Structure 1
Amino acid sequence: MRMSRRDFMISLSATGAALSVAACSSSGSGGGSSVRFGYIADYNGASLLAIAEERGLWKKHGLSAEPKVFVNGPVQIQALRTGNLDYGYIGPGALWLPASGKATIVAIDTLTYADRVIARPGITSIRGLRGKKVGVPEGTSGEMALNLALQKAGMTMKDISKVVMDAPTVVSAFSSGQIDGAGIWYPLIDTIKEKVPGMREVASTEDLPGSSFPTAFVSAAKAKPERDQKVVKVLQEANDWRAAHAEESIALAAKLLKADEAKVAADAKHVKTMTTAELVARTEDGTVGKWLDGMSQFFVRTGQLTKSPDPATFYAGDLYTKAAAR
């Protein structure tokens, strides 16, 4: 039953995937040195791709890249599985998909605390959403935040009227009063605030001390080791440049996103970046494995996974450490 739920969830994302990958040109067929790389329109998803392009890192490693924007992580996983994408970026709420064998994590990006449960003016707590319509992009970090908030309040999804919708629809539906609350993330929340000034944040991943929410770059489960190592090396070099040039990284991400730098800077405040050396160390000492296992255990509680797998089965830690040593 649970396997069917996951398969249905991916099928549900197929329409969005078709829209997102429709712009892929024939030159981005995934062969040769060209890679089609998915991302979400936020600082986490865009910054390394923007840096890699600006700094000539793809060319340095004998590659070229076609960035493709997507509305969420599950849609990218669908595109990977149908051969329409080579690599993608996912937030913590979509980590159940690689954990269930549908993709491989090739690199950890950041730790993010950008997810919230928001409510319309007058609703001051998660309990105030009982029986109300709450919009959420299913299988994403927005749903993760909603689940965590409900658990903390002693509630479940049965206590609300869950309305499944993609992230842009959440923004418009909340702004027009069609839903009472939402599980969603920054920078989209900034857009909502502009339209609904009295909006309330009734739960936040920042309020969960000791919890870690990693974002990641993924490839299709059937990997191409030589190309993967080159791609990971590009990501690592871009990652270290970002760690040393925070303001410039925000500017480059804003350029790729065609967004206001101030909004991207606000989004970046919810992100913890780490150097490649730190990520290698945390891979080797098991810290990354603990992050991923903690997420998997959460997904078991929500029914998205039937059991918590060994992180080594879906995180290519050896690939990451070997690429760093090149």
Structure 2
Amino acid sequence: MIRPARRTRRPAKASRCARSPSSRPPQPRLVHSMLKSALYLFILLSLTTSAAAQELKKIRLGYPSLAFTQSHIWVAKEEGLFKKYGLDVDPVFLRGGQVATQALAAGDPPIVNVGTVVQANLTGYNLVLVAAVETRYYQLVFVRPGITGLEQLKGKKLGISGFGSATHYAALILLKHLNLEPNKDVALIPGGPDAERMGALVAGKIDASFFNMSTAPVARRMGFIELLSIADLGVEVQGNGLATSRAYIKSNRDTVKAALKGYIEAIHFIYANKTEAQRTFAKYMRTNDPDVLETSYQSYVKTIPKKPYFTLKGIQFILDMLAPQMPQAKSAKPEQFVDPSFLQELENEGFFTEMAKRYP
């Protein structure tokens, strides 16, 4: 018996409403995996953001003048170089070296760009330099009209920013050169920052004073007479540098090292980026005077070293000047006022080589 052939059913046409494979709902296992990955990514980003915020340590860092010798502090702040090394720095203007040293001795700010740590150290404050950018005092002697020579300073009033400041030491160097005694042959009058001493000269309260190279163009335009640069006397003396206390180093060594890295990179940045550097100079010096900005920049690249090492000979000179009034200075050694370990570490780590390549 022959069976009838079975009909072969044609496959049904795909419905227009049928979903393509790509539009099918994800399987539960896939959904779980995707959610898990998203959660991990969220946690990772949160931790990274939190860690980045925690890494920025807030710190105040002081500077005592509006001269170009302080500008690496400003540039490191403005160009984000302190942040690069984990610090959120608040630059604090302190009115002169004496005030800056007193603030440092009190621990606020804990780091200051100043050179006058020797006298404070001798009086019991264990302050040290971890770097230094001046081995001479680039202070210019200006006098009021009517005085034509340095020999005429005898019996006159010489303005300084404060006792124990760089201008105070510059005055001692000048008077020694002239064979004159301070406060006997020439009265030393503390008068605050450059601008205030300039006002004192105008008012006749002092007869002469020291102005840094940043302020010199203004002093000349005001009619004051420039007689001498202390640097021309050839005296090696320790000037401005990054200073802190041994106690702060002991408890915050990483912070000091980070600040020093930003400080040094700013020096290299200034050399390589004139326009950006002068913009920051203008902000902190509070002037747009082109002569001041140009003089400041040219003075910077001529006098500030890319490797900020101290001068022990310069510290000894300060000790010798202090010895008549401070007997403890006679037995002090220059090495007790510096901590070279940070610079040595950076040398060994190749930091200076890296800076030279980054800022050719």
Q: Shorter-chain TM-score category?
A: 0.7 to 0.9
| Structure number with bigger Rg | 2
1:251 to 267, 273, 279: 279
What is the CA-CA distance between 1:275 and the residue it aligns to? 1.7
| Number of the residue aligned with 1:165 | 191
1:150 equivalenced with 2:172 (yes/no): no
1:120 to 131, 139, 144: 144
Q: Where is the strand percentage greater, Structure 1 or Structure 2?
A: 1
1:108 equivalenced with 2:135 (yes/no): no
- Indicate the RMSD between aligned Cα atoms, in angstroms: 2.7
Question: C-alpha offsets along residues 280-299 of structure 1, whole Å, 9 cap, x if unaligned?
Answer: xxx5xxx7323332333333
1:319 to 339, 342, 353: 342
5+ residue gaps in structure 1? 1-30
Question: C-alpha offsets along residues 160-214 of structure 1, whole Å, 9 cap, x if unaligned?
Answer: 233222124312110122222224433334333333x1x2223321321363553
What is the CA-CA distance between 1:319 and the residue it aligns to? 1.7
Question: C-alpha offsets along residues 197-240 of structure 1, whole Å, 9 cap, x if unaligned?
Answer: 1x222332132136355321111342221211111122122222
Q: Is the 8 A contact 2:117 2:337 kept in 1?
A: no
1:239 to 267, 280, 285: 267
Q: Among the aligned pairs, what percent are the same residue?
A: 21
Q: Is the 8 A contact 1:296 1:308 kept in 2?
A: no
Give the TM-score normalised by the residue count of structure 2.
0.70
Equivalent positions of 1:130-209 (< 5 A) are 130-137=154-161, 138-157=163-182, 158-167=184-193, 168-195=195-222, 197=223, 199-209=224-234
Structure 2 distance, partners of 1:183, 1:308, is 31
| Number of the residue aligned with 2:119 | 97
1:310 to 333, 336, 344: 333
Question: C-alpha offsets along residues 74-100 of structure 1, whole Å, 9 cap, x if unaligned?
Answer: 211211222321211114xx2433552
1:214 equivalenced with 2:261 (yes/no): no
Q: Is the 8 A contact 1:133 1:180 kept in 2?
A: yes
Structure 2 distance, partners of 1:309, 1:89, is 23
What is the CA-CA distance between 1:115 and the residue it aligns to? 0.8
What is the CA-CA distance between 1:249 and the residue it aligns to? 2.3
Structure 1 distance, partners of 2:141, 2:324, is 19
Structure 2 distance, partners of 1:247, 1:155, is 44
Structure 2 distance, partners of 1:184, 1:254, is 18
Structure 1 distance, partners of 2:240, 2:314, is 10
How many residues are paired up?
A: 283
Give the TM-score normalised by the residue count of structure 1.
0.76
2:296 to 267, 291, 312: 267
* 1:216 partner letter: G
Q: Is the 8 A contact 1:149 1:203 kept in 2?
A: no
5+ residue gaps in structure 2? 1-54, 350-360
| SS in structure 1 of the partner of residue 329 of structure 2 | coil
What is the CA-CA distance between 1:243 and the residue it aligns to? 3.1
| SS in structure 1 of the partner of residue 247 of structure 2 | coil
| Number of the residue aligned with 1:60 | 84
Question: C-alpha offsets along residues 249-286 of structure 1, whole Å, 9 cap, x if unaligned?
Answer: 2332223333225313313444412223xx4xxx5xxx
- The ranges of structure 1 where at least 4 consecutive aligned residues each deviate by more than 6 angstroms after the TM superposition are none
Per the alignment, do residues 190 and 210 of structure 1 end up closer, same or farther by CA in structure 2, a change over 3 Å counting? same
Q: Is the 8 A contact 1:105 1:314 kept in 2?
A: yes
| SS in structure 1 of the partner of residue 314 of structure 2 | helix
What is the CA-CA distance between 1:43 and the residue it aligns to? 0.9
Q: Is the 8 A contact 1:118 1:184 kept in 2?
A: yes
Per the alignment, do residues 193 and 308 of structure 1 end up closer, same or farther by CA in structure 2, a change over 3 Å counting? farther
| SS in structure 2 of the partner of residue 89 of structure 1 | strand
Q: Is the 8 A contact 1:126 1:202 kept in 2?
A: yes
Per the alignment, do residues 268 and 155 of structure 1 end up closer, same or farther by CA in structure 2, a change over 3 Å counting? farther
Q: Is the 8 A contact 2:274 2:297 kept in 1?
A: no
Structure 1 distance, partners of 2:158, 2:260, is 38
Q: Is the 8 A contact 1:136 1:184 kept in 2?
A: no
* 2:272 partner letter: A
2:321 to 298, 301, 314: 298
Per the alignment, do residues 154 and 303 of structure 1 end up closer, same or farther by CA in structure 2, a change over 3 Å counting? farther
